[in-house]
Chain A
Amino acid sequence: MQAEKTQTKAQNRFWRELLDGWMNVLTQPNLDTFRAQRARADPLKTVLGVGLLGLVLGLWALAIKPATLVTEMRTEAILIDLLRMIFFTEADFFIISLLLFFIARGFNGIGSFSQQSYLLSLVTVPLGMIVVAFLFVGEKLGLTLTAVLNPLSPVGVAGIFVILFALYGFLLLLFALQAAHEMQSSAVFYTFGTPLVAWGILRIASMFAAGEENVITTQWAFIADQWAKGTAQELLLGHLWLVAFSVSIAVVLGVTIGVFITWPAQRPRLSHLVILIPLALFLLLWAASSGLLGEGMADQIASTTKDWSRSLKRIDNLYFGPLLAIVAAIIAKPAAVGMIVAVFTIILYALFLAGEKAGDLTLYIAGIILTIPSVALFGAMIKPLGIGPFNAAFALILYAQLPILRNTYTGIKAVTPEIVEAGRGMGMTEAQLLLKVKLPMAVPVIMTGVRVSIVMLIGIASIAAYIGNDTLGQYIFDGITRAQEKRYYAGAILVAILALAVDYFLGWLQGRLTPEGLKGRREAA
Chain B
Amino acid sequence: MIKFENVTKIYPGMSSPAVDKLSFTVPTGEICTIVGPSGCGKTTAMKMVNRLIDATDGAIFVLDERGDMSNVLKIDPIQLRRSIGYIIQQIGLFPHRTILENIGTVPQLLDWDEARIRRRAEDLVTMMNMPVEFLDRYPHELSGGQRQRIGVARGMATDPPVMLMDEPFGAIDPINRNILQNEFLRLQQEIKKTILFVTHDIDEAIKMGDKICILNVGGFLEQFDSPANILAHPANEFVEDFVGADRALKRLNLVRVEEVMNARPPLIQTTQNVEQAAGFMAEQGIRFAYVVDADRTLKGYVRVRDLKGKTGWVDEFVEPAATTIPLTTSLKDALSEMLVVDYANVCVVDAQNRVRGLIDTNMIHEAVIESAAAAEGEEA
Chain A residues at the B interface, C-beta cutoff of 8 Å:
416, 418-419, 421-429, 432, 437, 440-441, 515-518, 520-521, 524-525
Give chain A residues whose Cβ lies under 8 Å from the Cβ of B94: 419, 422-423, 437, 441, 517
What are some 18 contacts across the A-B interface (CB < 8 A)?
A: A418-B88, A418-B91, A418-B92, A419-B92, A419-B94, A421-B88, A424-B52, A425-B81, A425-B88, A426-B82, A427-B78, A427-B83, A428-B78, A429-B78, A432-B109, A517-B95, A517-B97, A521-B95
Least CB distance, A255 to chain B, in whole angstroms: 17
Q: How distant is the Cα of A418 from the Cα of B168 in the complex, in angstroms?
A: 12
Complex: chain A residue closest to B142, CB-CB: A524
Q: Could you give, for residues 111-140 of chain B, a 1 whenever the CB lies within 8 Å of some chain A CB and a 0 otherwise?
A: 000000000000000000000000000111
- Given contacts A425-B86, A429-B78, whether A520 and B141 have CB atoms under 8 Å apart is yes
Give chain A residues whose Cβ lies under 8 Å from the Cβ of B98: 517
Give chain A residues whose Cβ lies under 8 Å from the Cβ of B83: 427
User: Does B105 contact A426, Cβ atoms closer than 8 Å?
Assistant: yes
Tell which of B50, B91, B105, B138 touches A516, judged by Cβ atoms closer than 8 Å.
Answer: B138
- Given contacts A418-B91, A441-B95, whether A425 and B50 have CB atoms under 8 Å apart is yes
- Given contacts A421-B52, A441-B96, whether A517 and B139 have CB atoms under 8 Å apart is yes
Give chain B residues whose Cβ lies under 8 Å from the Cβ of A424: 52, 81
- Given contacts A426-B109, A429-B78, whether A421 and B95 have CB atoms under 8 Å apart is no
Least CB distance, B138 to chain A, in whole angstroms: 4
Q: How many residues of chain B are within 8 Å of chain A by beta carbon?
A: 29
Task: Identify 15 new A-B residue pairs, CB closer than 8 A, beyond the known A419-B93, A516-B138.
Answer: A419-B91, A421-B52, A421-B92, A422-B86, A422-B93, A422-B94, A423-B94, A425-B47, A425-B86, A425-B164, A427-B82, A427-B83, A429-B78, A441-B95, A517-B98
Q: How distant is the Cα of A517 from the Cα of B139 in the complex, in angstroms?
A: 7
Q: Does B292 contact A (CB under 8 A)?
A: no
Determine the main DSSP class of B at the interface with A.
helix
Complex: chain B residue closest to A425, CB-CB: B86
User: Does A416 contact B91, Cβ atoms closer than 8 Å?
Assistant: yes
User: B47, B95, B106 — which one has the most chain A CB atoms within 10 A of its CB?
Assistant: B95
Complex: chain B residue closest to A523, CB-CB: B140
Q: Does B23 contact A (CB under 8 A)?
A: no
Q: Does B223 contact A (CB under 8 A)?
A: no
User: Does B140 contact A524, Cβ atoms closer than 8 Å?
Assistant: yes
User: Does B96 contact A518, Cβ atoms closer than 8 Å?
Assistant: yes
Q: How distant is the Cα of A319 from the Cα of B138 in the complex, in angstroms?
A: 42
Q: Could you give, for residues 269-304 of chain B, a 1 whenever the CB lies within 8 Å of some chain A CB and a 0 otherwise?
A: 000000000000000000000000000000000000
Give chain A residues whose Cβ lies under 8 Å from the Cβ of B229: none
Q: How distant is the Cα of A265 from the Cα of B378 in the complex, in angstroms?
A: 57
User: Does B88 contact A518, Cβ atoms closer than 8 Å?
Assistant: no
Q: How distant is the Cα of A264 from the Cα of B300 in the complex, in angstroms?
A: 65
Give chain A residues whose Cβ lies under 8 Å from the Cβ of B89: 418
Give chain A residues whose Cβ lies under 8 Å from the Cβ of B82: 426-427
Complex: chain A residue closest to B151, CB-CB: A422
User: B47, B139, B140, B141 — which one has the most chain A CB atoms within 10 A of its CB?
Assistant: B140
User: Does B52 contact A425, Cβ atoms closer than 8 Å?
Assistant: yes
- Given contacts A520-B138, A520-B141, whether A515 and B92 have CB atoms under 8 Å apart is no
Tell which of A437, A440, A517, A525 touches B138, judged by Cβ atoms closer than 8 Å.
Answer: A517
User: Does B106 contact A426, Cβ atoms closer than 8 Å?
Assistant: yes
Give chain A residues whose Cβ lies under 8 Å from the Cβ of B105: 423, 426, 428
Q: Does B236 contact A (CB under 8 A)?
A: no
- Given contacts A520-B138, A521-B95, whether A428 and B109 have CB atoms under 8 Å apart is yes
**6 interchain residue pairs of minimum CB distance:** A427-B82, A422-B92, A517-B138, A515-B96, A427-B81, A524-B140
Tell which of B91, B95, B164 touches A518, judged by Cβ atoms closer than 8 Å.
Answer: B95
Q: How distant is the Cα of A428 from the Cα of B93 in the complex, in angstroms?
A: 14
Give chain A residues whose Cβ lies under 8 Å from the Cβ of B95: 419, 441, 517-518, 521
Determine the main DSSP class of A at the interface with B.
helix
User: Does A427 contact B97, Cβ atoms closer than 8 Å?
Assistant: no
Least CB distance, B80 to chain A, in whole angstroms: 8
Q: How distant is the Cα of A293 from the Cα of B139 in the complex, in angstroms?
A: 61
Q: How distant is the Cα of A419 from the Cα of B139 in the complex, in angstroms?
A: 13
Give chain B residues whose Cβ lies under 8 Å from the Cβ of A525: 140
Complex: chain A residue closest to B110, CB-CB: A427
Q: How distant is the Cα of A422 from the Cα of B50 in the complex, in angstroms?
A: 12
Give chain B residues whose Cβ lies under 8 Å from the Cβ of A416: 91
Give chain A residues whose Cβ lies under 8 Å from the Cβ of B97: 515, 517
Complex: chain A residue closest to B105, CB-CB: A426
Q: How distant is the Cα of A515 from the Cα of B138 in the complex, in angstroms?
A: 10
Least CB distance, B283 to chain A, in whole angstroms: 60
Q: Does B79 contact A (CB under 8 A)?
A: yes
Q: How distant is the Cα of A427 from the Cα of B80 in the complex, in angstroms?
A: 7
User: B79, B97, B164 — which one has the most chain A CB atoms within 10 A of its CB?
Assistant: B97
Give chain B residues whose Cβ lies under 8 Å from the Cβ of A521: 95, 140
User: Does B52 contact A517, Cβ atoms closer than 8 Å?
Assistant: no
Give chain A residues whose Cβ lies under 8 Å from the Cβ of B106: 426-427
Least CB distance, B155 to chain A, in whole angstroms: 8
Give chain A residues whose Cβ lies under 8 Å from the Cβ of B91: 416, 418-419
Least CB distance, A440 to chain B, in whole angstroms: 5
User: Does B141 contact A524, Cβ atoms closer than 8 Å?
Assistant: yes
Complex: chain B residue closest to A520, CB-CB: B140
Q: How distant is the Cα of A521 from the Cα of B139 in the complex, in angstroms?
A: 9
Q: How distant is the Cα of A525 from the Cα of B96 in the complex, in angstroms?
A: 14
Give chain B residues whose Cβ lies under 8 Å from the Cβ of A422: 86, 88, 92-94
Q: How distant is the Cα of A416 from the Cα of B92 in the complex, in angstroms?
A: 8
User: Does B81 contact A440, Cβ atoms closer than 8 Å?
Assistant: no
Tell which of B81, B109, B140, B164 touches A517, judged by Cβ atoms closer than 8 Å.
Answer: B140
Least CB distance, B50 to chain A, in whole angstroms: 6
Q: How distant is the Cα of A516 from the Cα of B95 in the complex, in angstroms?
A: 9
Q: How distant is the Cα of A419 from the Cα of B106 in the complex, in angstroms?
A: 14
Least CB distance, B117 to chain A, in whole angstroms: 14
Q: Could you give, for residues 37-80 of chain B, a 1 whenever the CB lies within 8 Å of some chain A CB and a 0 otherwise?
A: 00000000001001010000000000000000000000000111
Give chain B residues whose Cβ lies under 8 Å from the Cβ of A517: 94-98, 138-140
Q: How distant is the Cα of A131 from the Cα of B19 in the complex, in angstroms?
A: 80
Q: How distant is the Cα of A516 from the Cα of B92 in the complex, in angstroms?
A: 18
Give chain A residues whose Cβ lies under 8 Å from the Cβ of B141: 520, 524
Q: How distant is the Cα of A423 from the Cα of B151 in the complex, in angstroms?
A: 12
Q: How distant is the Cα of A516 from the Cα of B141 in the complex, in angstroms?
A: 11
Q: How distant is the Cα of A520 from the Cα of B137 in the complex, in angstroms?
A: 11
Least CB distance, B140 to chain A, in whole angstroms: 4
Least CB distance, A512 to chain B, in whole angstroms: 14
Complex: chain A residue closest to B154, CB-CB: A426
Least CB distance, A86 to chain B, in whole angstroms: 65
Q: How distant is the Cα of A413 from the Cα of B96 in the complex, in angstroms?
A: 16
Least CB distance, B76 to chain A, in whole angstroms: 10
User: Does A426 contact B138, Cβ atoms closer than 8 Å?
Assistant: no
Give chain A residues whose Cβ lies under 8 Å from the Cβ of B88: 418, 421-422, 425
Q: Could you give, for residues 134-173 of chain B, a 1 whenever the CB lies within 8 Å of some chain A CB and a 0 otherwise?
A: 0000111100000000000010000000001000000000
